Amino acid sequence: MLGGVELLVEFAEVAEACGRHADMLEAAIAAAMLSCGAPIPESCGKHAWERFAGSGAVLSPLSEGSVPSSRCLAVLARGTKFAVSETRAPLRMLDVLDEHEPRADLKPIAAEYRATLATQAASARKAVHDCLARTVLPALEAAADRAAADAQDGAAPAGRGPDPAAGASGAAGGPAVGDLTRGIVLVCRLLGDLERYAAEAEGGTGQRGPAAARASAASAAALSRYSKSMQVGASALPAWSPVRLATALNLSVFLFERHGDEAEAARVAREAAEAAEDSAPTAAEIEAEGGEEARAEGARLLRLLQENLAAWRRVLRVERLMV
pLDDT in tens, 83-125: 778 777 787 777 777 777 667 777 788 788 878 888 888 888 8
- Nearest 10 degrees: CA dihedral of 24, 255, 317, 323? 140
Q: Sketch the domain layout of the chain as residue ranges.
A: 4-231, 237-323
Neighbouring residues of 186: CB distance < 8 A, sequence distance ≥ 6: 73, 77, 229, 243
Same fold, 4-231 and 237-323: yes
> Does residue 2 have a pLDDT over 80?
no
Tens of pLDDT, residues 221-232: 999 999 999 999
The interaxial angle of helices 242-257 and 292-322, nearest 10 deg, is 20
> Does residue 171 have a pLDDT over 60?
no
pLDDT > 70: percent of the chain: 81
> Does residue 165 have a pLDDT over 50?
no
What is the second-level CATH architecture of the domain 4-231? Up-down Bundle (1.20)
Tens of pLDDT, residues 119-155: 888 888 899 999 999 999 999 999 998 888 877 776 5
Provide the mean pLDDT of the chain: 82
pTM of the model: 0.83
pLDDT value for 112:
85
Neighbouring residues of 16: CB distance < 8 A, sequence distance ≥ 6: 24, 75, 78, 79, 82
Q: Distance between CA 186 and CA 246 in Å, rounded?
A: 9
Q: 158 or 136: whose pLDDT is higher? A: 136
User: Which stretch of DSSP H or E encloses residue 168?
Assistant: strand 168-169
Domain 237-323, CATH among 2.60.40.1930, 1.10.150.530, 3.30.390.50, 1.20.190.20: 1.20.190.20
Do 266 and 209 form a contact (C-beta atoms < 8 A)?
no
pLDDT value for 158:
45
Q: Distance between CA 298 and CA 279 in Å, rounded?
A: 11
